[in-house]
Amino acid sequence: MRTPVDASSIPHKLLLTSVGDLKIALPMEHIGEIGTLPVITPLPSLPSWIFGIVNLRGEIVSVINIADFLGVDAAYTSIGSRFVLLRSGKVGTMVLIDRMHGTVDKTVAELKLPVSLNFVKRGTEVYVRPGFMAEDQPVHVLDVEAILSSRRFLDCRQ
């Protein structure tokens, strides 16, 4: 008889990225593509965290500033020239990043760093999972499903 596997001990692959001083881990199972940012077409009357849209091989995709979406102080962030295409089901968006630092494998049990309201604005902490420390800096894990299924995100796509 097999012993059941504890789900918290299964490692999950994460892509470590940064947006300015902000360190973010993105679950690999939600990454559709990584690349150099194509030309963005801005759209009027959208929240500041939406830069606009791009045509990615025939698919129209929104481009967002994830730091602004989370309410992170602009003094700690910058806008990179690379993107990560995040997907959950049929919904996708591009987030801009400055840098990729590689990948790590982390189990749920290793993700113990609580979400800090110094990191995100109150009300947006639901989009961030507990994180970990890397090179003496906090790294928070984005909850891609929570972001892409949120009313805040979906209402702006229409």
What is the structure's pLDDT at 145?
95
Q: Which long-range contacts (CB under 8 A, 24 or more apart) does 51-60 make?
A: 51/96, 54/94, 56/85, 56/94, 59/92
Question: What are 106's strand-pairing partners?
Answer: 12
> How far apart, in whole angstroms, are the C-alpha atoms of residue 117 and residue 112?
15
> How far apart, in whole angstroms, are the C-alpha atoms of residue 49 and residue 71?
9
Q: Taking a C-beta distance cutoff of 8 angstroms, is the pair 96, 116 a contact?
A: no
What is the pLDDT of the chain when averaged over all its residues? Answer: 86
- In this prediction, residues 103-130 reach a mean pLDDT of 80
> How far apart, in whole angstroms, are the C-alpha atoms of residue 107 and residue 38?
34
**pLDDT tens for residues 127-151?**
888 888 888 888 989 999 999 999 9
Confidence of residue 117 (pLDDT cuts 50, 70, 90): low
More confident residue, 1 or 92: 92
**Residue that is written with structure tokens 């790590």 in the block:** 104
| Ordered structural domains, the chain, with CATH | 12-155 (2.40.50.180)
pTM for this structure? 0.86
pLDDT beyond 80 at 1: no
Tokens standing for 107? 């189990």
Three-class DSSP category at 98: coil
Confidence of residue 53 (pLDDT cuts 50, 70, 90): very high
What is the structure's pLDDT at 157?
57
Confidence of residue 116 (pLDDT cuts 50, 70, 90): low
Tokens standing for 119? 């990191």
**pLDDT tens for residues 70-88?**
888 776 666 778 999 999 9
CA nearest neighbour of 49 among 124, 132, 133, 118: 124
Q: Taking a C-beta distance cutoff of 8 angstroms, is the pair 31, 85 a contact?
A: yes
